Structure 1
């Protein structure tokens, strides 16, 4: 069986932060994490887990093939190149398969869809003639590459054995399994029957697990893996009945054995060793000119060594001592605890805490992108970046909260200073130790920075714009103090993680005077008197309403000016079932809302722990869109953070597998009409997207006419942007010509006009 769909592969050189048409996606996952490598005569391929990095040997072009370009999934477990068929075979963690051949992608879902007891995983792909041999938990699956179908499944030794690698030597096939090294005659038609296989008994502990096998010059080399401390051992076989010890090294774990025309390579995390056909070591790479490697896999083509490094990306070693690092623009890692955006720039904090809010001790990871450039700041002496607060007046100036290292300030995109217990009121929970734990950051209209701190007196502190500090004289009764927002009315809303609800605080515009402060600690209680204590996210919308993300969907607080005067009640939108029962369900009532961001049309983008991203209407009553791994290029349905860039409309989404963005159709509307323009302009005859008009005021009226004044389309803008599908009222694409676009403000006092050329 084979999948009928063929997807055209759109490969291109990645440009960070590039703006495409409305609805277009951009992959910002790291290319510095590579796990597998495969070489062809014209191109070299490296798997990042999310995508495949492709290097053209002739032109030097580096490009990416991932979900955005048409791959079926993320979570790549192995890749293999077939020179005979000119095909790249990709296996996923789900056991799904893709074949890239030329500019086409063919999906073969047979293994993924077939019921097989236990887990399904493909560890290694070896190609021979027109077949790919997939070593995995289900045995060896034989894929006919040309026919794009499963040809056979072999079961070496025992149905319970996992197969980690496969090699061919003469008329024999060898399988490295969890239960020893097994072989069979290749022409035997019954290799799906375990009894057709024979275990190699000449090895010490013949039933021990072997993870790699390779055939070179009529000799077979196999690696016995040791899971914990100790040493892997490579054995060499002249025949199934004759073998000997080859090599071992203390605490060295071999990941792969791979052949080349003159011998074979042995990959381990710390080095690559190249042997000739006689088994003599001829070269070792254990350093990139002083930098220690972290190798996932390496192969040698007789000229260059190609290394998939887990922190440096695809590495090309020329002559063993000249190194080229082949990376695309993007963050150095896929960690993304939180994402912020401001004026066309994105900020990613790659730290984190565990479920109990204990430190991960992840080295500091701060990534920013603007003007098509990525800047990564990674430091071993600082740790666990939590949130990033951009300066709205200077997008290259920002602050970073950390879970233990205090508050960091960056100027001109460079680390400038640190505030901690040694030079500020940001106390540490353990005197003399780096435990100034900060999470929430927010800026008010006077450019004061509001900070939440956990485990010390004074849960809320303020860094004034003049550099002085205010410590508020209350300590919130909760083990953890999370995010903070400053609302348009001046209130401060604070999340209390782990089931402690919310804390609302109002200094009445006089932060120096504590006597008029008001505050309230509360759990989320809705109009049905149902209490929801677990809060994960919070945002204020354009109407001043507070949206709270809970473990039971979103909740909304209206009329927040009375939050201290009466018992607060949150409103949860109910959606009628329309099934005749008269019943209704809470909007996304079974979802954990991990992140909330408001776009220029006052619609809400909601990130969830299990179901991807939702876009809901301004009032929360309508699901407009749900992006998930089944219907979009989204890497994962687990969303850590998201943020809408009001300047461009781009929605930045942080998933458990990395960052991706989609160009939204709403931008922040201006107080007046700015640089109004339509794009694309001109609209070519082969363009199939939507025309976008930007630079508008919020809720602008938009009228589009032909040159004679005939109305062909009208709408209200989504924030500062409007779109048109190029259809007239009869559902036909409009004719070639110049079209006038008239826009007016919501109150009718301001108006403007622009034009666009459309070619049918």
Structure 2
């Protein structure tokens, strides 16, 4: 079981940035397969992945995680260091951010001084290494060395030790005797300075021990070692370098652990004593064919960070067998497309650029989340399908999933196992044609969706018969001509309306409508200013419960309110949503690049953007219920790739370009009747915080009236679908298939102990149901 570290960020500007503890409603689904750095401290092994950290307790073997849900920034980690003196973990980032996670009070401090330094180019702010000495930490960066005071939690001097005092990349520092040594590149060599000098800010007080480029410098007991970029390791004695070994591969990490020197290359980890006598060597093997990134050891165990398997544990005395250690998670932290079913989620990692160019044809697998467990299928097992993107779950058979490949066709997955890759040889799918290369095969399957009859609809770009249907029950394919859209670069989304019209998003052609029309197909699109479209590039579309089409373009939001007239009205228009903000009329999401639109059980809209995070709007768009960004929520990025809603539990899954998170919105989709309706918890015990956690009335129908009375018939609370919506401040609120009661009566007082009647009435079918609810205070 994974136990999460409970951490939050203090608000201490300008040194610190703030965040909140969202652990109650949010969950992180980060990958821990690719490890950047591994360190030891506090009787734990800490391992940093792309933008999250996990730790292994060496006594209990318990795994803990530290993510954006707990307060991390979500930026890309470059290095970590644990201070045994101050009982804290230092986290360095590629953008210059430093975060500090404390053991004793579970706080995270975000230090932004380097990020905000205007004299340092953004490309030169990467944190490369931490070295503590007395009460300070020397921070090696791509511009030089900065000094951070651990007691005052503030920066001191910065040392620019390049030529003539310029900026230079410092990979690592080490201290031996009275001197601090810096391993520099850009021809600035190995430098040293007297550490007690009060004027180290003056570059002239830094001596050049030798010229060249150095990757690392480290001390082991009373010995100093330096590593050049030519993979040669040197012992440094009285400023004289003596070569002791040349590694067959370029080392990627050099660190001293206790009285040992560990040197990590992509293929091996070497352990030496202070005299550089070889003590152990662990090598990559066929079982875990990966690249090593970093290593530490504890007693007789070595812990090695890898690019594919998290941390591998092996024996120092016999390093031949490995144990894989990391929390569960998806394959990668770059989810591109997601699709949820009931209590499950599928994730793909394929991608294409803004112009739907899939090259260079990434080879990545798929991930599947169910029952709080992840099942990962690597590329080797997906039948060579590249650039996997859109996902459709068969509503008639939840164990059957179809995944579009934006190069290889359509992948069928049964019971979690890829079984068939449909292409030009075994299906109705077609390859685009290159006149210069008639043998070229490139089947760019974009959007896919199932209709209510269990037929899968797919769209393939740059072919004449772009729209195809496939019936999995009889393996029958049918094609529909999109000749007028022959040059369309990509179709990112398709949805189906109540009248079976297929609504399609296109890059060049905006919104496309298609209806079979009993054998006389209707095909029409709008993409110009004459139709009030802000851009021809439509990235997202959604049909809501009123059969209104919401359209997300690269330059704003539109709605087609009367979809039934789309094919018959000559001058069809898409309308903007006008809201009032501060007494001024404004267009909702003006000029925003919209990536996804999802409709929940209450007809509210979740809308993702490329750089402004995630919005949650009321059904008509007039009220912003939530606006999540990386500064006010656990989103690791403001770039939203995809959003998917689990209708059974109200979980909103959010795929960003830096990882996957989920938010417990609480709502669920309504049912057709009231037969399964129930209230929980029941009874409501004194330990239950009824005001904040609320009583839930689940599995209600779409249009319902709810009355709560005491046993004598006195009205306590009342709500009606579409009126008493959630997040509106009512004591009784309805969100799709779930109602929420905060335990208060019409006088806004918490009710007394007793039996209460929950009377449900469907306003469409006149079905009724009465639930009994016991409240104990």
Q: Which residue of 2 aligns with 1:329?
A: 328
Deviates more, 1:53-62 or 1:292-301: 292-301
Residue 183 and residue 683 in structure 1: after superposition, are their counterparts in 2 closer, same or farther (change >3 A)? farther
1:13-412 alignment, distance < 5 Å: 24-92=25-93, 93-112=95-114, 114-117=116-119, 118-119=121-122, 120-157=125-162, 158-178=165-185, 179-201=188-210, 206=211, 208-225=212-229, 231-239=230-238, 241-249=239-247, 252-288=249-285, 290-319=287-316, 320-359=319-358, 360-380=360-380, 381-412=384-415
Q: Provide the rounded CA distance (Å) in 1 between the counterparts of 2:306 and 2:205.
A: 39
Matched residue of 1:195: which SS? Answer: helix
Correspondent of 1:495 among 505, 508, 517:
505
Q: Provide the rounded CA distance (Å) in 2 between the counterparts of 1:146 and 1:72.
A: 23
Residues 396-424 of structure 1 show CA distances to partners (whole Å, capped at 9, x for unaligned) of: 21111111221111111211212111112
Q: Which residue of 2 aligns with 1:14?
A: none
Q: Which residue of 2 aligns with 1:627?
A: 628
Residues 664-715 of structure 1 show CA distances to partners (whole Å, capped at 9, x for unaligned) of: 1321111112433444554554744444332111243333445555544433
Deviates more, 1:561-570 or 1:298-307: 298-307
Is 1:550 the counterpart of 2:550? The answer is: no
Matched residue of 1:561: which SS? Answer: helix
Q: Which residue of 2 aligns with 1:744?
A: 761
Is 1:478 the counterpart of 2:487? The answer is: yes
Is 1:714 the counterpart of 2:724? The answer is: no
Deviation at 1:274, TM superposition (A): 1.6
Residue 754 and residue 330 in structure 1: after superposition, are their counterparts in 2 closer, same or farther (change >3 A)? farther
Q: Provide the rounded CA distance (Å) in 1 between the counterparts of 2:674 and 2:712.
A: 25
Deviates more, 1:327-336 or 1:652-661: 327-336
Matched residue of 2:131: which SS? Answer: strand
Residues 365-411 of structure 1 show CA distances to partners (whole Å, capped at 9, x for unaligned) of: 22221222222222242211121110112222111111122111111
Q: Which residue of 2 aligns with 1:15?
A: none
Residue 540 and residue 63 in structure 1: after superposition, are their counterparts in 2 closer, same or farther (change >3 A)? same
1:533-548 alignment, distance < 5 Å: 533-548=536-551
Deviation at 1:284, TM superposition (A): 2.3
Q: Provide the rounded CA distance (Å) in 1 between the counterparts of 2:406 and 2:671.
A: 37
Quick check: 1:6–1:106 contact (8 Å CA) kept in 2? no
Q: Provide the rounded CA distance (Å) in 2 between the counterparts of 1:440 and 1:107.
A: 43
Deviates more, 1:542-551 or 1:742-751: 742-751
Quick check: 1:448–1:462 contact (8 Å CA) kept in 2? yes
Deviates more, 1:148-157 or 1:322-331: 148-157
Q: Provide the rounded CA distance (Å) in 2 between the counterparts of 1:236 and 1:70.
A: 42
Q: Which residue of 1 aligns with 2:652?
A: 651
Q: Provide the rounded CA distance (Å) in 2 between the counterparts of 1:235 and 1:695.
A: 70
Quick check: 2:11–2:18 contact (8 Å CA) kept in 1? no
Is 1:466 the counterpart of 2:464? The answer is: no
Matched residue of 1:308: which SS? Answer: strand
Deviation at 1:747, TM superposition (A): 3.8
TM score, norm. by length of structure 2: 0.88
Q: Provide the rounded CA distance (Å) in 1 between the counterparts of 2:771 and 2:77.
A: 47
Q: Which residue of 1 aligns with 2:4?
A: none
Residues 197-244 of structure 1 show CA distances to partners (whole Å, capped at 9, x for unaligned) of: 21213xxxx0x332321012322222223xxxxx433222112x2112
Residues 331-379 of structure 1 show CA distances to partners (whole Å, capped at 9, x for unaligned) of: 1112322111222221112111123322242224222212222222222
Q: CA RMSD in A?
A: 2.7
Q: Which residue of 2 aligns with 1:452?
A: 459
Q: Provide the rounded CA distance (Å) in 2 between the counterparts of 1:265 and 1:647.
A: 50
Deviates more, 1:680-689 or 1:328-337: 680-689
1:512-523 alignment, distance < 5 Å: 513=519, 516-523=520-527
Q: Provide the rounded CA distance (Å) in 1 between the counterparts of 2:392 and 2:564.
A: 26
Quick check: 1:3–1:106 contact (8 Å CA) kept in 2? no
Quick check: 2:88–2:100 contact (8 Å CA) kept in 1? no
Deviates more, 1:82-91 or 1:395-404: 82-91
Residue 458 and residue 213 in structure 1: after superposition, are their counterparts in 2 closer, same or farther (change >3 A)? same
Quick check: 1:6–1:105 contact (8 Å CA) kept in 2? no
TM score, norm. by length of structure 1: 0.89
Residue 253 and residue 25 in structure 1: after superposition, are their counterparts in 2 closer, same or farther (change >3 A)? same
Deviates more, 1:120-129 or 1:367-376: 120-129
Is 1:568 the counterpart of 2:576? The answer is: no
Q: Provide the rounded CA distance (Å) in 2 between the counterparts of 1:192 and 1:385.
A: 52
Residues 728-749 of structure 1 show CA distances to partners (whole Å, capped at 9, x for unaligned) of: 5555555555554333323471
Matched residue of 2:718: which SS? Answer: strand
Q: Provide the rounded CA distance (Å) in 1 between the counterparts of 2:180 and 2:775.
A: 62
Deviates more, 1:727-736 or 1:672-681: 727-736
Q: Which residue of 2 aligns with 1:228?
A: none
* Equivalences, count: 727
Deviation at 1:591, TM superposition (A): 0.9
Matched residue of 2:107: which SS? Answer: strand
Residue 530 and residue 404 in structure 1: after superposition, are their counterparts in 2 closer, same or farther (change >3 A)? closer
Quick check: 1:678–1:693 contact (8 Å CA) kept in 2? yes
Deviation at 1:327, TM superposition (A): 2.1
Residue 212 and residue 530 in structure 1: after superposition, are their counterparts in 2 closer, same or farther (change >3 A)? same
